[in-house]
Amino acid sequence: MGIELFGWTGMVLGQLAAWPQVLKLRREPGAGVSLLTYLFFFASMSLYLVHAVAIGDTVWMVSIPLGFVPNGLVIQALVRRRTAPRPAGEHSAVRSMAA
């Protein structure tokens, strides 16, 4: 296994790093979290997955699909918040301060 242990360890740490953002968005309105950033990140992960499959890199072929889960949940939460109906006259900044 040798050097691959570094890849698998990095994969585990990378997966753990995404979940605090998911949990935060379950508790808070998500002010300051950029939907565009997560969309670009999701797109780049998709391209990395194509590359990983093409070269047969097992660590990345496992890691990237697992990473789609928390990042997809962040995107879903941010989209829901953007499309949620707001009371008349309420601005998003006012709503996030009140929450």
> What spatial distance separates the first Cα and last Cα of the chain, rounded to whole Å?
49
pLDDT band of residue 98 (cuts 50, 70, 90) is: very low
pLDDT score of 55: 96
pLDDT score of 7: 86
pLDDT band of residue 4 (cuts 50, 70, 90) is: confident
Rounded distance, CA 7 to CA 72, Å?
Answer: 23
For residue 15, the number of C-alpha atoms closer than 13 Å in the C-beta half-sphere is 15
For 25-78, what is each residue's pLDDT tens digit? Answer: 888 887 888 899 999 999 999 999 999 999 999 999 999 999 999 999 999 999
Domain positions in the chain are: 18-25+33-84
Average pLDDT, the chain: 84
pLDDT score of 92: 54
* 91 backbone dihedrals φ, ψ, rounded to 5°: -90, 150
pLDDT score of 64: 93
